[in-house]
Structure formats: structure tokens, C-alpha cells
Amino acid sequence: MPGLSLGDTIPNVQADSTHGHIKLYDYIGDSWAIIFSHPADFTPVCTTELGRIANYIGEFEKRGVKLLGLSSDEVDSHRAWLPDVEACTPGCKVTYPILADPKSEIMAKLNMLDPDEKDEIGKPLASRALHIIGPDKKLKLSFLYPGTTGRNFDEVLRVVDSLQLAAKYRVCTPANWKPGERVIIPPSVNDEEAKKLYPQGFETISLPSGKKYIRMTKV
């Protein structure tokens, strides 16, 4: 399986979708984007996922993030599936496009296949991969889940907030961080720089080692 690692430029794939033909770079434009794969149409976990992420469209729009689904069936099948998706998650409206990838070519290029899951003719099926791509078209974060485990879109939104904060300010977010909570000053910033970069101030946490490497601030 070809590697696609953090920081790599995502390939400019193109395919038919429920919104017509899409070239990935044109679709992303200057936005952030989330591209997420599904093993197949008319499967139960995928049906819940497409509807659940649709419930977050407004939140992603506020953050300038475009959504793009990807499933290994044809566009006609995707279109026929959408009424089930919307019925399964009442109130959701799937307004983002879903790419068709019947030969799994795009999924192979985007490192979204699960080598352990094959269809009846031996073709590898997609995993539940989800790539967050920055406006520079580089891979900022990836989830790689097996078909058995549906994704948590609260977590997807949370990591978008973390990525966008880190891109705007020079900060990191601690474990289980939520928007509004304190952030960490990265080790690459020394105390002198920190005084200039974070005029709001920062707290150095006292540790048994006596080392002063956890510094918290608010942005």
C-alpha cells in the first residue's frame, strides 16, 4: 500500500460524484477539507456515519472546512442510498458530495484501503479512513479505522479546532483538550520567546523532576 504520511501533499485525484465531476484541488480551493472513505453503499455503519457527519455541516462551515465522502460504488448507487441515510439520522441533510470509486483507485492513492477486508471477488475494501487536509493541500491528520468501528464526529470537530489553533498560534493542545481550555507552549519556544509570543502570560507547571517543560497559556 503506498504511504501517505502527515505533511505529504495529497494527490490531486478526480472522480465523478453526487455533485458532478470533482477535481480534489479545485474542490478544496483555499479551504480546509475532510475526505472520508466508506467500504460500501447500503451498509449499516456507513449509513449511520454519512448521516451523523451531515449533522455537523454547519460547524464545519463555520471553520471553513469542506466535506467530501468517498465510497466504493457508482454515483447512481450513492444517489439511491441517500434517502436511507437521511431517514436513518432524522433531520440530517447530506449536502456534501460523495465520490464514486468502484475500482478503489482513489482509495489506493489516498491510502484508504483495508488489506484484511476483501469483497467476494477479492478486491480490497476501504477502511474508514478520514484525512484532514489543510489549505496548502497537505495532510494534517488522519484517522484509520476498520469497517467494524464507526467514527466519532465530535472528535473530528475537536481535532479540527486543535489543528486550526496550532496553525494560527504557536501552541499545542493537551490530552482531552476542549475549545476554551488552556493550551501548551511547544518545547521549541524558549521562555524569552514565550514572553513575547504570549503577552497574556503563561504558567510553568512545577514537576517532580524540577524540569520546566510544561508551560500553559490561554489563546
- Which C-beta is closer to ligand BEZ: that of 52 or that of 140? 52
Nearer to ligand BEZ, 15 or 45 (CB): 45
The DSSP secondary-structure symbol of 110 reads T
Told to check if 124 binds ligand BEZ by CB under 6 A, we report no
- Calpha distance 106→11 (Å, rounded): 9
- Going by their DSSP bridges, the two strands 22-23 and 139-145 should be labelled as unpaired
Alpha-carbon span 21 to 32, nearest angstrom:
20
Which of 39/51 has CB closer to ligand BEZ? Answer: 39
As a whole number of angstroms, the longest Cα–Cα distance in the chain is 63
If one asks whether residue 51 binds ligand BEZ (CB under 6 A), the answer comes out as: no
> Site for ligand BEZ (CB under 6 A): which residue of 14, 43, 142, 204?
43
For residue 135 the three cell numbers come to 489549505
C-alpha cell at 39: 467500504
Question: If you count them, how many residues does the chain have?
Answer: 219
The yes or no reply on residue 77 touching ligand BEZ (CB under 6 A) is: no
50 binds ligand BEZ (CB under 6 A): no
Give yes or no: 88 in active site: no
Q: Of the residues 46, 88, 92, 172, which is catalytic?
A: 46
First to last CA, the chain: 40
Span from 35-43, 50-58, 183-191, 204-212 in contact with ligand BEZ (CB under 6 A): 35-43
User: Residue with CB nearest ligand BEZ?
Assistant: 147
CA-CA distance, 19 to 10, in Å (whole number)?
21
Site string for ligand BEZ, 156-185 (x = CB under 6 A): ------------------------------
Residues 6+ apart with CB under 8 A from 212: 191, 204
Interface pick for ligand BEZ out of 39, 51, 69, 97 (rule CB under 6 A):
39
Task: Count the residues of the shown chain that bind ligand BEZ, applying the rule CB under 6 A.
Answer: 8
Of the candidate spans 36-44, 105-113, 156-164, 199-207, the one that interacts with ligand BEZ by CB under 6 A turns out to be: 36-44
Whole-angstrom distance, CA of residue 179 vs CA of residue 161: 7
Grid cell, residue 123, equals: 478486491
Q: Please, which residue, 45 or 184, has the CB nearer to ligand BEZ? A: 45
Q: Which is nearer to ligand BEZ, 101 or 173 (CB)?
A: 101
Strands 215-217 and 183-184: antiparallel
Positions touching ligand BEZ (CB under 6 A) are 39-40, 43-46, 147-148
Residues acting as catalytic residues: 46
